[in-house]
Amino acid sequence: MCPGFKSLIRHQFQKRPTSHLRGAFSVPGVKQRQGSTFQESGPAHAGSPNGRLRHFSGKNDIFMLRGSTPAIWRTNRKASHMTNDRFGMGWGMAGGTTLASVERAREAAILAEQTGFDSFWISHAAGVDSVAALGSIGRDVPGLSEVGTSVVPIYGRHPVAFAQLVRTAQNATGGRLTLGIGTGNQGYVEDKLGLSFDQPYTYAREFIDGLEPLLNGTPADTTGSLVSAHAELDIEATPTPILLAALGPRMLRFAGSRLQGTTLGQCGPRTIASYILPHLREGAESSGRKSPLRVLALVRICVTDDTAPAKALAREISAHYQAIPSYAEATKHEGLDDPSDLHLIGTWPKVLDGLADYGEAGATDLRVQVVAPDDKSREATYAALEEYLS
- Are residue 67 and residue 125 in the same domain, yes or no? no
| Domain final residue pick, 75, 109, 137 | 75
- For 184-222, the pLDDT digits (tens) are 989 999 999 999 999 999 999 999 999 999 999 999 999
Query: Comparing C-alpha atoms, which of 183, 202, 179 is closest to residue 193?
Result: 183
Q: Say what percent of the chain tops pLDDT 90.
A: 73
Give me the number of domains the chain comprises: 2
Q: Are residues 147 and 199 in the same domain?
A: yes
Residue 281 inside a domain? The answer is yes
> Ranked by mean pLDDT, which of 57-66, 151-160, 325-334 comes out on top?
151-160
Closest CA to 348 of 325, 317, 381: 381
Domain stop point among 43, 75, 107: 75
Contact 256, 283 (CB under 8 A): yes
Residue 81 located in a structural domain: no
**Same domain assignment for residues 98 and 68:** no
For residue 85, being part of any structural domain is answered with: no
Q: Is 84 inside any structural domain?
A: no
Return the percentage of the chain with pLDDT > 70, whole number: 79
- Give yes or no: residues 294 and 331 share one domain: yes
- Do 18 and 115 fall into the same domain? no
CATH number at residue 161: 3.20.20.30
Q: What pLDDT is recorded for position 48? A: 31
Asked if residue 184 and residue 241 are part of one domain, the reply reads yes
Based on the domain organization, do 68 and 123 belong to the same domain?
no
Residue 178 to residue 389: CA distance in whole angstroms: 22
The 10s digit of each residue's pLDDT in 275-318 is 999 999 999 999 999 899 999 999 999 999 999 999 999 999 99
pLDDT band at 122 (very low <50, low <70, confident <90, very high): very high
CA neighbor of 325 nearest in space, from 127, 183, 151: 183
pTM score: 0.82
83 is a domain residue: no
**Rounded Cα gap, residues 356 and 86, in angstroms:** 8
The secondary structure of residue 308, as a DSSP letter, is: H
Residue of 144, 252, 143 lying closest to 205 (CA atoms): 252
Structural domain ending residue among the three candidates 75, 104, 134: 75
**What local confidence, expressed as pLDDT, does residue 85 receive?**
86
Task: Indicate if 67 and 126 belong to the same structural domain.
Answer: no
Q: Identify whether 118 is part of a domain.
A: yes
Which helix H or strand E contains 42, and what residues bound it? strand 37-44
d(CA 282, CA 285): 5
pLDDT, tens digit, 9 for 90 and up, residues 217-263: 999 999 999 999 999 999 999 999 999 999 999 999 999 999 999 99
- In a shared domain, residues 364 and 313: yes
Write out the residue range of the structural domain in which residue 352 sits.
90-389
pLDDT for residue 101: 97
Q: Do both 223 and 112 map to the same domain?
A: yes
- Whether 210 and 287 map to the same domain: the answer is yes
Q: Determine which helix (DSSP H) or strand (DSSP E) holds 368, and give its type and residue range.
A: strand 365-370
Residue 138 and residue 266 in one domain: yes
C-alpha–C-alpha distance, residues 136 and 230, integer Å: 28
| Helix ranges (DSSP H) in the chain | 5-12, 102-115, 130-137, 159-172, 186-187, 200-215, 249-258, 269-271, 277-286, 307-322, 325-331, 348-361, 375-389
